[in-house]
Amino acid sequence: TINTLRLWAAAAPEYFDFEEFGSGDFIGALSETLEAESLTRVLYPDDSTAMGRRLRFAQEYFLVACSLADIIRRFRRLNNDWDKLPEKAAIQLNDTHPSMAVAELMRILLDDAHLGWDDAWNLTRRTLAYTNHTLLPEALEKWPVEGFEVLAPRQLEIIYEINRRLVEEVRKRFPGDEGRVERVSLVEEGGERKIRMANLAIVGSHSTNGVAAVHSKLLRNSTVKDLAELFPERFNNKTNGVTPRRWLLQANPALASTITEAIGDEWITDLSALSQLTPLAGDSGFRDAFLASKAQAKVRFANWLKATTGRMVDPNTVFDCQIKRIHEYKRQLLNALRIIVEYNRLRENPNMEVAPRTYFFAGKAAPAYRLAKLIIKFINNLAETIDFDPATRGRMKVIFLPEYNVSLAEKLIPASDVSNQISTAGFEASGTSNMKFMMNGALTVGTRDGATIEMAEEAGEENFFLFGLTVEQVEGSRGWYNPHWHYENEPETKAALDLIFSGHFNPGEPGIFDPLRDVLLTQGDYYMHLADLTSYCQAQDRLGALYCDSGAWAQKAILNVASSGKFSSDRTIAQYATEIWRAEPCPVQ
C-alpha cells in the first residue's frame, strides 16, 4: 500500500524587507519570516505558558486550514457538484486537535461555495468523523474564546451559530433540563469562556468512535453521556490495531521465520491465520524453536544496547518491560514500587530463589509535566541504587532507556518476556504497545483496562496475569478510598514507602522525592497505586514461578501470539473503511 503524507510548513510571503534593512533594522527585516516559520518550527510546544498555548492553537488551525484547502482543491479539480463531497472525501478527526475542521469546512462551504446553512451543515457532518483517543479531561481540549477572536473570528461566528442551533434542539428534546444544556454546549461559561473542542467534533461529525470496547462504553456512559443520548446512532467502537508487517515481520525476523516455517506466510497479510499456531503450543519441538527465536532477539537487543549506550545486560535474565508515555495514570510509579518490594525481599533473604530480572523503562514526559519528570528521576536513582547493592547484583537490574522512539521499540519489544500494562482501570483508552508485545510472545501483566481486556478475552484469562481493581471498583471506591490503610496494614507496602521516605534512593539530595509522598499519601493517591500494589506483586510472583518452567511459559506465550490476529491494523482500517467512511474495496490491477 502506498499512501500520501502531506507535511505543511509556514513561510512568509515576503522573505526579506529591504526597506527595514535599508533603515538599519536588520532584525526587523527578517521578523515576518521568523514569525511565520516559528509556527511549524517546534512540534508540541510547551503549553504551560500563554505563549505556548497560543502557538499550539495556531498550529492546530494551520493544520486544519492547509489540509482542508488541499482536500477541496483536489475535489474541485474533478467535481463541480458540492453534493458529492461526502462521497469523494472522508475526513477522520484524529482526537480533538483538528476539531476546528468543523468550523473551517463550514466557512468554506458558506463563504467560498455560497451554500445555504442547511446544505453546508449536511455536507460537513456527512464528510467528517471523529475518533476519541482519551478520557482524560485535560486532553479534551478547550480553547479560550479570546484566541478565536484574534486568530479565527469567522470560525468563532460559525461555532456560535452551531451552538445556538444545538442548544435549541436540546431544549426541545429535553425541556427544562438546563443542566444538560450547559453540559452539551460548545461554549464553557464561567470564568474564562472557552470552546469545547470535543463537543464541537461530536456535534459536527456523523460518527464518533472510541478505540477499545471499554473505552467506547465509558465515553458513551460517562465522558460525553449527554451527547451520546442526544445522538446515540453516531457512537461506535473501533478497537485499535498495529501493523504486523512492521511489528512482527520486520521487527522480529527470528520469530517471523519460525512462524512461517510452521504455518506458511498467509499470516503476513491475514493475521487471523496465526490461530493455526494454537495446536503447536503443545508441541515440544515448536516450543523449543519459539524459545530459541526469543533468545536470539534478546541477544540481538543486548548487543545493540552495548554498542549504542555502553550499558550491558544479561540476555539470560527475564526482560521485564514498561514502555509508554510517562504519566501518573500509566503508573510507572507502581512498577517502581513493585521493584522496591522485590528489592527488599532480596535484601532480607539473599538466598531467595528467583529468576534474575532486568527491568526496562522507556518513554517521554510532556515538557511541563513536573511530576512525570520526577518519576523518571526516581527510576534512574532506583536503578543506580540497585546497581551498587551487592545483595541484588546479578539478580536485579533497572534500566531507563533514553530517547525512546519507534526504532528502539522495534528492537526491545521482540526481546521482551514480560509486558507491563498497568494503567488505573478506566483511564487507558486502548493502548497499542500491549498488542505489539502480545504478537511478539511476551506475557502480559495487566489491569482490566483498554484493549488489554479484549486481548485477555482472545487468549483466555488463564494465559494472562490480570490484577487490580476493575473500572467499576475504581469508580465505586472514590468516596471512601484511603491509601493510608494500605500503608498501615500491608507490611511490604509500608516497607517500600518507608525506604523511599528515608532517603535511601536520594543520598545527597534530601527531600527531592517528597512530592511522591504527597501523591501517594497526603493527596489521596488518585490513581490508586497503593490499592493495586499487593495484587500486582502477587501477579508478578505467579509469573516468576511460571518462568522457571520453560515449557509451560512457551506454551502460554505461543497461545498469546496465536490469539493476536484481532489486533492487526488491517482489521481496524477495514472497519473504519466499511462502517464509517463507506469506502468500497478497489481491485488492484
Q: Which residues does the annotation mark as catalytic?
A: 133, 324-325, 330, 432, 436
Whether 125 and 208 have beta carbons less than 8 Å apart is answered as: no
Whether 255 and 297 have beta carbons less than 8 Å apart is answered as: yes
Q: Which three cell numbers stand for residue 359?
A: 527491568
Q: Among 8, 26, 10, which Cα is nearest to 18's? A: 26
Helix (H, G, I), strand (E, B) or coil at 94: strand
What DSSP string runs through 43-83? Answer: SS--TTSHHHHHHHHHHHHHHHHHHHHHHHHHHHHH---GG
Q: What's the order of all strands across the beta sheet hosting 208-210?
A: 91-94, 128-131, 208-210, 235-237
d(CA 460, CA 470): 17
Q: Which three cell numbers stand for residue 401?
A: 532507556
- What stretch of H or E contains 332? helix 332-348
HSE at residue 146, side-chain half, CA atoms within 13 A, is 7
| DSSP state letter for 206 | S
Backbone angles phi and psi of 376, in degrees to 5: -60, -45
Backbone angles phi and psi of 527, in degrees to 5: -90, 10
| DSSP state letter for 232 | G
Whether 205 and 578 have beta carbons less than 8 Å apart is answered as: no
| DSSP state letter for 110 | I
d(CA 321, CA 399): 10
